[in-house]
Amino acid sequence: MKAQPLSPVRILDALERFGPQARPYNFDDHFDCWGLAQRVFDWLDDGYDLNTEALDETTAGNWRPIGERDELVPGDLLATHPQPDPEYHVVFYCGRVGDVDVVYDSSPRGAVPLFDERQRIVGERRIHTRYSRATETTERLRDDGGAYLRLWHDKMRYYHAGLHERLVAGGAPEVRDLVALRRAGGLSDLPFYCRRRLPRDAAGRELYDNSFTRHLDYYVPDAAPLPDDRYEEVVGHSPAPGPDLRLPPRPVLPPDLRRPPTPEFTAAPAWIAGPGPLEVAWRSADGPRVEPVRGSRVEVWEETHDIWRHRLQRVDSGEPVTAFAVPEDLLRADSRFAVVVYARGDAGYSAGAVAPFLYRPAPGNPLLAYNPVRARGLRPDGRQPVPAGEDALLEWSVPRPASDQVAVDIAVFEGGTCLREGAEPVFECGVQDAAAGCRCVVPAAVLSPGREYYWYVTPRDAAGREACAPSEAVFVASERR
């Protein structure tokens, strides 16, 4: 940690620039909790490596137990443990709004405070991304997690002494009022997601964006990014629907915000890959209502044993290519890799199609018992309406049904309940001989008009291995006329 004084305003400014608000929590070496801290200090301290000062067995002495909260100053880096631990987590302490302590946190879960115009807390948004790891096991992430201003939570037990000293030298104890600090930095009084419900895009997903993360090529958000001045144009003025409100009509995205659909693989390496040509091929949807593909991006990633990802190669093309050969000199034996393909349109990149593989595994590699196959192409999805009083036909696909889906489990939850611990589904079904079909019928009797339903598909392969995470989709039961 550098020694020169540092003001809390600079940290708040960096968090506003780099924190991927309202994007899915991205569990890799970029925007998980520690990745965000690294990005902030890369910017503040001109590329300083925070790992050498705060995230190593030798740096435990740099952390101090938190006594009283009044000892902390805005900008303090807080941690659950003084050194790496399976439950390790870090946040930035930001100060107070009224008598409410708040932190800035990149996490799959948390409570986001809602304040009125007098800066009084009037409620909170519960954030909980159920499947938060951004690997081949989660090509679909709900847009809940990510970096937000959140309510303090008591698991934060330590603060970084070196950063604290820099903040004190920079005048931090003089002001703890977060609103005043943000004003001093030229920021709005509070982030807008603390003042009103988040807007939604045409697929019903909540949106936010900021200037410093919009361009980053190693994270393509599922929802289309929107600059702040386009929200009203795209989502209208309606508040996000609550559990007892009628759903507003789906807005139509303007042409410059529509992205091409995700490419569909036609060939990919087997999960257990050996020496020899490793090639992927894909196709893109076409048709009068499909956004045209202008180019492609292909990335090769290595995924370490703890599921952190490191990009090894990126290839951009100004033409819509449809095949790629993985250079074997990039690969290491007994390690996991993934090829990720994006289609580029006039409004940006599609979501990524992911082809994972385990390269020349050693006999004892635990991933030999891993099932990487997940259901894709779930329909209905994107809050697509299902006619009132009719059964809902759920459909999906897997690459090789005879081996990838010998059995399958389906669960349907009413919106607002699916992410609660111990929530009961309104419908569930287990099919033991599922190789022949990728469909399931949900009886109309279990669906209530005007409600959202999240449904999950979990296949099991011929070896009896269950997919490590379900695939998720959302539909709406229409109102009766």
The CATH code of domain 264-369 reads: 2.60.40.10
Give the integer Cα–Cα distance in Å for 227 and 120: 27
Residue 312 has pLDDT above 80, yes or no: yes
Distance separating the N- and C-terminal Cα atoms of the chain:
64
235-239 average pLDDT score: 38
Beta bridge partners of 384: 475
Give the integer Cα–Cα distance in Å for 49 and 46: 9
Pairing of strands 272-273, 309-317: unpaired
Residue 363 has pLDDT above 50, yes or no: yes
Average pLDDT, the chain: 77
Residue 235 has pLDDT above 60, yes or no: no
Residue 251 preceded by cis peptide, ω within 30: no
The values of phi and psi at residue 368, to 5°, are -65, -25
Please tell me which residue, 38 or 6, carries the higher pLDDT value. 6
* Residue 446, helix vs strand vs coil: helix
Residue 250 has pLDDT above 80, yes or no: no
Residue 50 has pLDDT above 80, yes or no: no
Nearest to 166 by CA among 11, 337, 366, 376: 11
pLDDT in tens, 177-198: 999 999 888 888 887 678 665 5
Which parts of 346-391 are beta strand (E)?
Answer: 348-349, 353-359, 376-379, 384-386
In the chain, how many H helices and how many E strands? 7, 25
Nearest to 167 by CA among 236, 59, 74, 91: 74
Query: Which amino acid makes up residue 439?
Result: R
Following DSSP, what letter does each residue of 334-356 receive, concatenated?
A: TEEEEEEEEEEETTEE-PPEEEE
Pairing of strands 471-477, 452-460: antiparallel
> CB of 359 within 8 A of CB of 337?
yes
> CB of 202 within 8 A of CB of 250?
yes
| The two domains 264-369 and 376-477 share their CATH topology (first three levels equal) | yes
Considering the four listed CATH numbers 2.60.15.10, 2.60.40.60, 1.20.140.10, 2.60.40.10, the one that applies to the domain covering 376-477 is 2.60.40.10
Residue 340 has pLDDT above 50, yes or no: yes
pLDDT in tens, 191-228: 767 866 555 555 555 554 444 444 444 444 443 344 43
pLDDT, position 254: 64
Domain boundaries in the chain?
A: 8-235, 264-369, 376-477
